[in-house]
Amino acid sequence: MAEVYIALLHHPVYNKRKEVVATCITGFDLHDIARTALT
């Protein structure tokens, strides 16, 4: 079976004034990635 790599990218993230702002990975994001990897 071929190897598959999954990445979650959140850059750049802009606010309503089109400025780059910080972001974070939540537990929900990690669960979504894990669920996708299993299916």
Please enumerate in sequence order all residues whose Cβ is within 8 A of that of 28, keeping only pairs 6 or more positions apart, or say none.
Answer: none
Predicted TM-score (pTM) of this structure: 0.41
pLDDT, tens digit, 9 for 90 and up, residues 1-14:
788 887 777 778 89
Residue 33: Cβ within 10 Å count:
14
Asked if residues 20 and 12 have their Cβ atoms less than 8 Å apart, the reply is: yes
Return the number of other C-beta atoms located less than 10 Å from residue 10's C-beta.
10
> In the chain, pLDDT over 90 holds for what percent of residues?
21
